[in-house]
A and B are shown apart, each in its own frame.
Chain A
Amino acid sequence: MTDRGSGGPVRTAVVTLARAAGAYDVVSLAVPAAPGWASARPGQLLVLPGSPARGEVLPRLLWLADVTVDPVHGTAVEVAVPAGAGWEVGRRLRLVGPLGRGFGVPTDPVPALVVGHGGSTVPLRWLTSRLRARGCPVHLVLSAPEPDGLFEVAALRRQAASVRLTTEQDLARVTLEVLEQEPRVGVVYAAGPRGPVRQVAQVAVGAGRPVRVSALDLDEPLLCGTGLCGQCDLRPAGPGGPRPLRPCLEGPVVPGEQVLDAAR
């Protein structure tokens, strides 16, 4: 079921379970065992290649919501798709991944602040689990265009030390409030659209905290996800600055400082 040689990390997956979760359907995929799955991290993505012969000019991109590697029961991957997208059990599909650089967890059990917006909150449940497993208390600041847009917020409430729900416009302000209320927070993670993520990075850097952000927003249309089209490039604000950062090739997770000066 694995296409090695010609296509690199191309695999054929089978849908084994689909359950509703608000605005999403959480879909479990059975995938062939491969070394990449054991080291997969939240923040990495899957690419479902399009078929140009059928008029599909871009692939479908999905955040990894969870990966379970079990030598007995096989490897299971969870993704979130829009509710009612028609992912029936038994459906087979080609996928490429896991791609990109995900969120790492601290080596020491320090409190962490996780900030997310909309569809970019999909990897955060898994990230929170990993942080908890490392012994890191997790504070969450989440926003979404509509309440159902938050991914599995009930599960997050069970794991997190605190959860603050807000709007996209207030994401940075609430982040600053939490950082002031929780001075022991040692690291900040952020995922979401470019603007809010940049504001959160500014707040965290201003507060002297290390920050890791996902510089790729899969809610943006027209992305290839493989580092070829350049549509996700973060461009320096002025001439003579650093070269553009291509998140789907060099990230998506990058140090927050790298997104501070981007014009786009």
Chain B
Amino acid sequence: MRRGDRLPPVWVAAGAIDDPRGLLRFGDLGSVLVPVGPVVGGPGGGRSAQVHGMGPGGVEHDEAPGIGLVEAVDRLRWCATRDLRAVLAVRGTTPGEPATLAGRLCRGLEGDAVAAVEVDLRGADDQHCLRVLARVREETPRDLLLLAPLSALQPDLVGCARGAVAGGAGAVVVCGSVPLGGGRWWAGSSTAATSRAGVRTLAQAADEQRWPAVPLVAAGGVHDAPSAGAVLREGARAVQLGTALWADPTLLWAVLDDLTGTERPGARPDDQEDHG
């Protein structure tokens, strides 16, 4: 996918869903972008994020430990053989590491499956955002869409977005997850207001020309069509679903159908269930 292309309305969030094979049995993934990663240097954690507890509307979980290059190649190959488009999420401990990882995977035989590269910049400052994305821009194919996930709770959200765009980001992902310290995050439907606030802040700043606006993707708290619609009205161009799919994987298609205006037989029948 090239920078400036129209974004698909619904994406699957990397980190929450680290293996899209589980989703495929519930429906067609051809119209969504599926995540691969986060890819890290070294062998990777070889596992998904550990969930430590849950409460009303959210779960407390570790940061996804990431997968190694070999596992990432396997998953990109899986996407390529099914004609799926992947968002390659990369993460590094140095400014150059995400670029190295993204470059190697995009240049590989499975690189055609990469529709976008996402570099986790939550908690970074504006200069770090600029440096990291500029390096990724150099290592990846020209015009490939780069995504910059930023935390809606970052102190200088607008400055970070400005730095990310200056570095080459074609879209900014506004994450509503709440950092709990120690590598833990709070995520779930209870964070919807946080991501909406982040989107609102960036949209307003764009109106005031405080940063060169690029499309915004809302991640965090989107759990049904109304919550997706609410964040789109704030200025987001697309939504990412993550932990909501743990509760109900079919929400992906319910939200997609609603946003694209598709009528499918047997859409999510909430009204058919009795909640005692």
Chain A interface residues toward B at CB < 8 A: 2-10, 12, 49-59, 86-88, 91-94, 96, 99, 222, 224, 226-231, 233, 235-236, 239-240, 243-244, 246, 248-249
Main SS at interface, chain B: loop
Q: Are A57 and B46 in contact (CB under 8 A)?
A: no
Q: Are A58 and B274 in contact (CB under 8 A)?
A: no
Q: A228-B249, A246-B19, A249-B21 are in contact. Are A52 and B57 (CB under 8 A)?
A: yes
Q: Are A243 and B27 in contact (CB under 8 A)?
A: no
Sample of 5 further A-B pairs with CB below 8 A, known A5-B266, A230-B47 = A6-B268, A7-B254, A55-B190, A91-B274, A99-B25
Q: Are A222 and B51 in contact (CB under 8 A)?
A: yes
The 6 A-B pairs at the shortest CB distance, nearest first, are namely: A230-B48, A227-B22, A49-B248, A3-B266, A50-B247, A52-B223
Q: A6-B27, A52-B224, A249-B21 are in contact. Are A243 and B248 (CB under 8 A)?
A: no
B17, B46, B59, B249: which has the most chain A beta carbons within 10 Å? B249
Q: Are A231 and B50 in contact (CB under 8 A)?
A: yes
Q: Are B18 and A230 in contact (CB under 8 A)?
A: yes
Query: Which chain A residues border B43 with CB–CB below 8 Å?
Result: 239-240
Interface check B207, CB cutoff 8 A: no
Q: A94-B273, A249-B22 are in contact. Are A52 and B244 (CB under 8 A)?
A: yes
Q: Are B274 and A93 in contact (CB under 8 A)?
A: yes
A-B contact pairs, 26 of them (CB 8 A): A5-B266, A6-B257, A6-B264, A7-B26, A8-B250, A10-B266, A12-B272, A12-B273, A52-B223, A52-B247, A55-B56, A55-B57, A58-B59, A88-B276, A92-B272, A96-B250, A99-B25, A222-B54, A226-B26, A228-B23, A230-B48, A235-B46, A235-B47, A239-B43, A244-B47, A249-B21
Name the residue on A nearest B51 (C-beta): A222
Interface size of B by Cβ–Cβ distance < 8 Å? 55
Name the residue on B nearest A242 (C-beta): B46
A59→B59 CA distance, assembly (Å) = 13
Q: Are B58 and A6 in contact (CB under 8 A)?
A: no
Query: Which chain A residues border B109 with CB–CB below 8 Å?
Result: none
Mask, B32-71, CB within 8 Å of A = 1, is 0000000000010011111101101111000000000001
Q: Which of A5, A96, A99, A243 contacts B265 (CB 8 A)?
A: A5
Q: Are A92 and B273 in contact (CB under 8 A)?
A: yes
Q: Which of A55, A92, A228, A236 contacts B245 (CB 8 A)?
A: A228
Name the residue on A nearest B71 (C-beta): A243
Chain B interface residues toward A at CB < 8 A: 16-19, 21-23, 25-27, 43, 46-51, 53-54, 56-59, 71, 188-190, 223-224, 226-227, 243-251, 253-254, 257, 264-270, 272-276
Q: Which of A57, A96, A243 contacts B57 (CB 8 A)?
A: A57
Query: Which chain A residues border B26 with CB–CB below 8 Å?
Result: 7-10, 96, 226
Query: Which chain A residues border B46 with CB–CB below 8 Å?
Result: 235-236, 243-244
A4, A7, A93: which has the most chain B beta carbons within 10 Å? A7
Q: A5-B266, A243-B46, A244-B46 are in contact. Are A49 and B247 (CB under 8 A)?
A: yes
Chain A: minimal CB distance from B48 (Å) = 3
Chain B: minimal CB distance from A32 (Å) = 11
Q: Are B264 and A53 in contact (CB under 8 A)?
A: no
Q: Are B267 and A3 in contact (CB under 8 A)?
A: yes
Chain A: minimal CB distance from B81 (Å) = 18
Chain B: minimal CB distance from A221 (Å) = 8
Q: A53-B223, A53-B224, A228-B22 are in contact. Are A94 and B247 (CB under 8 A)?
A: no
Q: A226-B249, A227-B22 are in contact. Are A6 and B71 (CB under 8 A)?
A: no
Query: Which chain B residues border A49 with CB–CB below 8 Å?
Result: 247-250
A200→B267 CA distance, assembly (Å) = 44
Name the residue on B nearest A225 (C-beta): B246
Q: Are B267 and A6 in contact (CB under 8 A)?
A: yes
Query: Which chain B residues border A231 with CB–CB below 8 Å?
Result: 48, 50-51
A235→B190 CA distance, assembly (Å) = 31
A249→B23 CA distance, assembly (Å) = 10
Q: Are B51 and A52 in contact (CB under 8 A)?
A: no
Query: Which chain A residues border B243 with CB–CB below 8 Å?
Result: 57
